[in-house]
Amino acid sequence: GVREHVELRTEVTSVRQEADGMWTVVSRDAGGAVTSRRFEQVIVASGHHTDPALPDPLPEGAESFAGTILHSLDYRTGADFAGRRVVVVGLGASAVDIAADLSRHAAETFLSVRRGLHIVPKQLYGMSVDVIAEAPWWNEMSFAERIQWVEQALLVARGKLSDYGLPEPDHPVFSSAVTLSDEILSRIRHGAVTPRPAIGSFDGDRVVFTDGTSTAADAVVYCTGFHMTWPFLPAGCPVAADGSVELYRRVVPADRPGLYFVGLVRPVGAITRLVEAQAQWVARIIDGETSLPPAEEMREEIDAYLTSIVRRYGRTQGASIQVDVGPYLAEFRESATV
């Protein structure tokens, strides 16, 4: 009985809270018809991959580059680039996945990396990193002990990144986002993907790197992330003036009752179980099985969380949605037993 209540190809253009606490949601369907409806609760589950982010400005010569420049958002399959020479920019999840995929189709695949990131395989010592993140022995370790354990495990599992031609990270693991991949280092080692430094400029059909080397290229895929935007929501929700996402338990804006964000987190590992825990918690709140604390208490939790985030990652928008899987899931398990 769910499908009859689902509207596909429908854009939400406005979500605003009225004086009586109800939410007015304005939407537009594929035919252009606009509908306005009122709801007691609104759940935003659109994630944080919203508007593609490209370097601004692009490197010199980009406007006259003879090849194609695109963002990872527009990438579909490596088969579209069969026999072509492609430069992939970045070292995050999209970059390494796209580079590995391209390497099976393209004539040449280059991976342009400005800054080193920790590349973590999906298993360490035969254990899934998702299982490790929830293991009692892991969560009993101090933060320093976890860093030491992981860095030692990474040396055993894949050695130094510089051995693959990639820059070594300039920061400890867990002080910035990590990249999970079982494949990219193998593709590099087998010569299917060639690491290169950052792009310095474009020259005709050539991409010139910051070390002075260059290569002819038919396409450049920028895997440089996204800007988090919610144009249908009131200004300042959920992003504060300093760029931090301000949500109680990374779900609830303290001063907007009836509004929830599900999936707006970034863990080390899979997000699936976290989204499930969030959804179950929101359902319990809506059903009246549990309740939210006063707004002031929620603001205190948000402030404490963001203070710890700044101490660990620095003040960036992306860092403000970073969570540790084990402790985060434990918060929802505890609330389920109250």
Quick: pLDDT tens for 146-166. 999 999 999 999 999 999 999
Residues 110-119: tens digit of each pLDDT: 999 999 999 9
Q: What was the pLDDT predicted at 241? A: 84
**Model confidence band, residue 337 (pLDDT cutoffs 50, 70, 90):** low
Task: Lowest mean pLDDT of 112-116, 298-302, 330-334, name the range.
Answer: 330-334
Q: Which of 153, 218, 168, 163 is nearest to 185 (CA)?
A: 163
Residues 284-293: tens digit of each pLDDT: 999 999 999 9
Task: Lowest mean pLDDT of 80-94, 96-110, 216-230, 259-273, name the range.
Answer: 259-273
Q: Supply 104's token pair.
A: 């099976």
CATH 3.50.50.60 in the chain, residue ranges: 51-226
Q: What was the pLDDT predicted at 179? A: 94
Q: What was the pLDDT predicted at 50? A: 83
Residues 60-84 have a mean pLDDT of 96
Specify the pTM. 0.87
Q: Is residue 49 predicted with pLDDT exceeding 90? A: no
Residues linked to residue 69 through DSSP beta bridges, in sequence order: 220
Q: What was the pLDDT predicted at 130? A: 84
Q: Is residue 336 predicted with pLDDT exceeding 70? A: no
**Model confidence band, residue 134 (pLDDT cutoffs 50, 70, 90):** confident
Q: What was the pLDDT predicted at 282? A: 97
Residue 186 CA neighbour count, 13 Å, CB half = 10
Q: Is residue 338 predicted with pLDDT exceeding 60? A: no
103: DSSP letter: T
In 237-294, where does DSSP find H-type helix?
Answer: 272-287
Give the number of other CB atoms < 10 A from CB of residue 98: 24
Q: What was the pLDDT predicted at 18? A: 95
Residues 52-75 have a mean pLDDT of 96
Please, which residues have CB within 8 angstroms of residue 218's CB and are 6 or more apart in sequence? 67, 68, 81, 84, 85, 86, 205
Q: Does domain 51-226 have CATH number 1.10.10.370?
A: no
Residues linked to residue 330 through DSSP beta bridges, in sequence order: none
**Model confidence band, residue 312 (pLDDT cutoffs 50, 70, 90):** confident
Q: Is residue 132 predicted with pLDDT exceeding 70? A: yes
Average pLDDT of the chain to the nearest whole number = 93
Percentage of the chain beyond pLDDT 90 is 82
> 218-234: string of b/e by CB count within 10 Å (b at 16+)?
bbbbbbbbbebebebbe
Residues 267-280 have a mean pLDDT of 90
Q: Is residue 16 predicted with pLDDT exceeding 70? A: yes
Q: What was the pLDDT predicted at 243? A: 86
Q: Supply 208's token pair.
A: 């010139």
